[in-house]
Amino acid sequence: MRTGESPKRAVRVADRLREELTTILAREVRDPRLENVMVTRVEMPDDLSFARVLVRTIVPVEDLASKKQVLSGLVSAAGRLRKSLAGRIGLRRTPELRFYWDDGFDASERIGQLLAEIEDERKHRE
């Protein structure tokens, strides 16, 4: 493999994993902890040994306990998810799945709320 292909391949495989995991979670997993879970992003190193899977729920979750419950459900389903992926992605070795909560969306949403509050205060002062 040429040197320039590796990162590009990792990005392509990560995108494919995101798509497949989204489908598997929506159609095949019946764990109530994983209802409304969506995969927001998958990141992989060039060697494709593991996948850093960022998730969140469709309905925003505020409390830490609910986030931990979702991540716990994903960890317990990781073997089944990996097995389902093996037949779909066509890699010699299916990457290890590591799950993380995607706080990026929550942070950007909170920043938007704060900016809206500042704008409201500014209008009320005028």
pLDDT for 74-84, tens place per residue? 999 999 999 99
Average pLDDT for the chain: 87
- CA dihedral of 50, 20, 102, 5, whole degrees rounded to 10: 50
Summarised one tens digit per residue, pLDDT across range 3-21 is 455 558 999 999 999 999 9
Domain that holds residue 87: 5-125
Q: Residue 87: what pLDDT?
A: 87
What tokens appear for 62 in the block? Answer: 């505020």
Q: What's the domain count of the chain?
A: 1
Count other Cβ atoms within 10 Å, centred on residue 52: 16
Q: Residue 1: what pLDDT?
A: 45
Identify the CATH number of the domain in which residue 61 sits: 3.30.300.20
Sign of CA dihedral 33, 38, 41, 43: positive
CA distance 21 to 87: 12
